[in-house]
Chain A
């Protein structure tokens, strides 16, 4: 079968379609890469938040003075060390 030469208009149309397909492909590739990058950043933020929270929870245990880790009291009338002293003194009274 004899191949028919494309007319100029047909060729132009085909060329534009090919260009559009290439741009579309590139756009899809770039968008997918952007999605992956965004997902990585978000999970990194989640991991960092979890690490910060873990450090905040654990840090007070390291920075307390010797003798005790932390003190909770329903009234703010005595310093924390007072209660550690009471705990020690009561053991000796027994």
Chain B
């Protein structure tokens, strides 16, 4: 009987990590920071079929924002900056090659940096379409 109970517990323990696996290593990297509010939005909907994960870093104050700017190599001090970054190291600029990467958008006014994780060209195209569609509506 003890062996059968162990089997049940083993299977449950194997399935439990699925519940937390989605948090991602980037979230784990920044969440402990005391000078940042870190939020991970999973399944952010770009259209009816495409969802992406977004990591949002908000600096608590100007000093924290300066540190974040330095970490991500942001040279500008105003406006909005964006680039394509490597999937595991968003601060490293890259080009679209069809491999997983991320779109990074930094807003100085908001002291906010958003990292949209893109796994394939479908998600990349959906993100561009999302921006174009919203611009079209606004105009």
Q: Which A residues have a C-beta under 8 Å from some C-beta of B?
A: 42, 45-46, 49-50, 53-54, 56-57, 61, 64, 66-75, 77-78, 83-84, 86-88, 90-94
Contacts and interface: CB of A to CB of B under 8 A. Distances in A.
A45 B9 CA distance: 11
Contacts of A66: 45
A35 B114 CA distance: 58
Contacts of B32: 74
A16 to B, nearest CB: 35
Given A46-B8, A93-B80, A72 B114 contact: no
Contacts of A72: 23, 27, 31, 39-40, 42
Contact of A57 (B18, B23, B43, B45): B18
Contacts of B82: 94
Contacts of A88: 44
Contacts of B116: 87, 91
Contacts, number: 106
Given A56-B19, A91-B127, A68 B107 contact: no
Contacts of B38: 73-74
B42 A83 contact: no
Specify which of B19, B22, B43, B130 lies most central, judged by the most chain A CB atoms within 10 Å of its CB: B43
B37 A42 contact: no
